[in-house]
């Protein structure tokens, strides 16, 4: 496959017009399943918006190699002027998941051709996964689908990378991306008129105190050689300009690689909240959402990744440091060896320079063929086809 198939471009443009948020990817899922039906490819539906394809190989080997694409979009109003821009107000494929899905659909068609030709030697599992952006769709899918029945040995994933040049594949062994844990702090104070402020318990005072103390955790309580983020994304307190604030709220995220650091951060946050309540007389709750673990690339897969990149005509770039982005591909490490890599889409001459999760993110669709070739090369390297 040396030229870009017309269907690859069609898939991307069709999907780009119907972006849907996490666990609501109904039109997207219908498109995926209709495409598979048209190709006479059977599939499983373990979740309403999850689709899994199993291709059985010719050999008696029970081991299976998996490939994953995420399918959800983001609550962003698109600002590009492409003719196939989002038709859903307030939603956009600003993270490239339309590209990921298009790559896997095209790879599925190729796998079907090889199977029909009797050239598929070993088992392949394709995973069209919902809800990567929130609510840990990978975790939900792992609990809903019997991956253990297929003896999945390895799982590979790709993500478009706007900071990486075209025709480059970027990854690294070990930790590639951070764990991501959201937190919410809700403070309950006691209202009073500003003229009698001593009779109240200021939620505003408590919130600002907590925010200041959170900013000290990295400096004083964590290993300076470790990359960690304790970020405040939203902060609000107060009801009127002349009253002591009754309610206060803080929301944010924690990013880290070392599990012990996450535990230490959470313990310090609990201490800060308790101390603040003692100081201000407030009542505060601190809740942590179930986070995404750090993405870990198994070192034993790096030779396969290198061979796949070489065969696909891609330059392999080994990243010096991990990203602090979160990604729920990390959950697949609990069931198989995994590798996650970034497929470069940056082209300054063509203006493809905008970052992920931005309203102007876009890329040259020809680059998607690099992803298809990479998956084909992985299949060839591992002897899945002959």
Feature table: binding site for Mn(2+): 95, 97, 133, 159, 357
Secondary structure letter of residue 184 according to DSSP: E
Q: CA-CA distance, 273 to 246, in Å (whole number)?
A: 16
Token pair 């940056």 in the structure block, residue: 346
Which CA distances in Å does 230 have to 40, 239, 341? 48, 27, 25
Write out the H or E segment, with its range, that includes residue 123.
strand 123-129
Output Rg (C-alpha) for the chain, integer angstroms: 24
Phi, psi of 337 (to 5 degrees): -70, 145
Name the nearest CA neighbour of 304 among 330, 339, 334, 332.
339
Q: Which residues, other chains included, contact 297 with Cβ-Cβ below 8 Å and sequence gap of 6+? A: 171, 172, 173, 174, 175, 176, 338, 339, 340
Distance CA 373, CA 147 (A): 25
From 226, 286, 284, 282, select the one nearest 257 (Cα to Cα): 226
Backbone angles phi, psi at 165, to 5 degrees: -60, 150
Annotated binding-site residues read: 95, 97, 133, 159, 357
Contact 129, 141 (CB under 8 A): yes
């Amino acid at each position: 496959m040396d030229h870009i198939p017309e269907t690859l471009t069609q898939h991307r443009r069709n999907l780009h017009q119907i972006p849907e948020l996490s666990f609501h990817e109904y039109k997207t899922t219908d498109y995926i399943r209709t495409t598979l039906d048209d190709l006479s490819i059977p599939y499983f539906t373990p979740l309403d918006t999850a689709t899994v394809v199993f291709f059985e190989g010719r050999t008696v080997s029970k081991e299976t190699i998996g490939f994953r694409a995420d399918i959800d979009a983001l609550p962003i109003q698109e600002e590009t002027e492409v003719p196939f821009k989002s038709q859903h107000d307030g939603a956009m494929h600003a993270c490239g998941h339309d590209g990921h899905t298009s790559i896997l659909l095209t790879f599925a068609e190729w796998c079907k051709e090889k199977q029909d030709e009797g050239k598929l030697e070993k088992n392949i599992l394709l995973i069209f996964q919902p809800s990567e952006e929130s609510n840990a769709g990978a975790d939900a899918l792992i609990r809903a689908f019997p991956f253990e029945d297929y003896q999945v040995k390895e799982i590979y994933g790709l993500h478009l990378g706007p900071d990486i040049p075209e025709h480059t594949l970027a990854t690294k062994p070990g930790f590639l991306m951070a764990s991501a844990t959201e937190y919410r702090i809700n403070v309950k104070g006691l209202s009073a008129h500003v003229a009698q402020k001593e009779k109240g318990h200021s939620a505003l005072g408590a919130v600002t105190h907590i925010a200041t103390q959170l900013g000290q955790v990295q400096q004083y309580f964590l290993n300076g050689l470790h990359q960690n983020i304790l970020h405040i994304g939203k902060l609000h307190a107060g009801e009127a300009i002349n009253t002591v604030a009754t309610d206060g709220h803080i929301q944010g995220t924690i990013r880290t690689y070392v599990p012990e650091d996450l535990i230490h951060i959470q313990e310090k946050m609990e201490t800060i909240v308790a101390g603040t309540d003692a100081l201000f007389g407030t009542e505060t709750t601190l809740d942590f959402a179930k986070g995404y673990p750090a993405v870990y690339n198994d070192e034993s897969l790096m030779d396969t990744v290198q061979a796949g990149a070489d065969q696909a005509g891609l330059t392999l770039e080994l990243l010096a440091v991990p990203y602090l982005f979160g990604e729920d591909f990390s959950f697949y490490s609990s069931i198989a060896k995994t590798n996650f890599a970034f497929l470069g889409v940056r082209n300054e001459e063509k203006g493809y320079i905008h970052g992920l999760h931005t309203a102007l993110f876009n890329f040259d669709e020809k680059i998607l063929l690099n992803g298809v070739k990479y998956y084909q090369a992985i299949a060839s390297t591992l002897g899945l086809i002959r």
